[in-house]
Amino acid sequence: MYKAINYWVYGGFGPNRTPYEFIDFAKAQCLDGVELTLEDCLPLTITKDECAKIAAYAKENGIGLGTLATGHYGAESLGADDEAERARAVEFTKKYLQIAAWLGVKTILVVPGSTSVAWDPSRPVVPYARCWDQATKSIRELVPVADALDVDIALENVWMRFLLSPMEWKLFLDQFGSDRVGMYLDLGNCQIYLPAQDYIMLLGKRVKAVHVKNWKGEDCGGGLHGFGDSLKAGDVDFKAAFAALEKIGYNGALTVEMIPFSRLPDLALPDESLAAKVAEEIKSLV
């Protein structure tokens, strides 16, 4: 499968490294691709010409740009109770889709909504049913834009206390009746509820992209501290997960996204040595 790495582990949360440096790093690590991040290594004001230059550089160096990510939805939610916030999140996503199209990226990571953001108590709590309705409304508005730009919307299972089980995901995704909308499955994030392979087998072709990281639960639960700094330590059964991906015919990106919250309160990114280590680990796992 296509093996890639997300910008955050290499470049951190901010414009600490250029896309060109990141592409050079991935090439040196013999990876297949990179996942650039909007509002970190790419500014929201990036132009079509700048995107074309990045895409050309990646192609020249044999590095794919299969997916694009952003951390924007922690601040503005597509499932927000507040209509003005929801509308802003929709407009952001339209621009996000356009930038992806300019780069030649086929899939963007989108967070559908949040009932609460545990690590940011300033964010409002939204009733689950209201989040569902607002997120549904937002995605329906975005599907025609995605269709026109030929970019898929992959909704990720982040820890926002919304869409927890694979059956919830199936119901949510199927209501759109569009192959353009699918799931960005994070193998580590789902482990707190069910093994990743259960999500994969229930969701099948709805899986558009995959984030690879590990997580370890403790005492009938667990938290952010369970996200470590090695793919080889944790509860994810990668052999079973990859076998399930093969069974459903998945041949997209496996993108390492390592944010080692186990290091809190001393977590520091970027961490180029960590990026190099996990690049080697994903190659050994697949």
- Domain residue extents for the chain: 2-285
Q: What are 283's two structure tokens?
A: 């190659």
* Class of domain 2-285 (CATH, top level): alpha beta
Q: 3-state DSSP: the chain helix, strand, coil percent, rounded to 5?
A: 45, 15, 40
Contacts of 54-61 spanning 24+ positions with Cβ under 8 A: 54/19, 54/20, 54/23, 54/103, 55/102, 55/103, 55/104, 57/19, 57/20, 57/23, 58/23, 58/34, 61/23, 61/24, 61/27
Gyration radius (Cα) of the chain, Å: 18
Q: Tell me what pLDDT residue 115 has.
A: 95
Residues whose CB falls within 8 Å of the CB of residue 88, separated by 6 or more in sequence, listed in order: 76
In the chain, beta strands by DSSP E: 2-6, 33-38, 64-70, 107-110, 152-156, 181-186, 207-212, 253-256
pLDDT of residue 202: 97
- 115: which 2 tokens? 């009932």
- What angle in degrees, to the nearest 10, is found between the helix axes of 196-203 and 238-247? 10
Q: Distance between CA atoms of 237 and 227, rounded to whole angstroms? A: 15
In 30-82, which ranges are continuous DSSP H helix? 48-60
* Cβ neighbours for 4, distance < 8 A, ≥ 6 positions apart: 26, 31, 32, 33, 34, 35, 64, 66, 67, 253, 254, 255, 256
Q: Are 58 and 141 in contact (CB under 8 A)?
A: no
Overall size of the chain counted in residues: 286
Which residue has tokens 């909504």?
Answer: 113
**pLDDT tens across the length of the chain (286 residues):** 799 999 999 999 999 999 999 999 999 999 999 999 999 999 999 999 999 999 999 999 999 999 999 999 999 999 999 999 999 999 999 999 999 999 999 999 999 999 998 778 889 999 999 999 999 999 999 999 999 999 999 999 999 999 999 999 999 999 999 999 999 999 999 999 999 999 999 999 999 999 999 999 988 788 889 999 999 999 999 999 999 999 999 999 999 999 999 998 999 999 999 999 999 999 999 8
The whole-angstrom separation of Cα 232 and Cα 238 is 9
Spatial CA neighbour of 63 closest among 104, 110, 98: 104
| Amino acid present at 216 | K
pLDDT of residue 120: 85
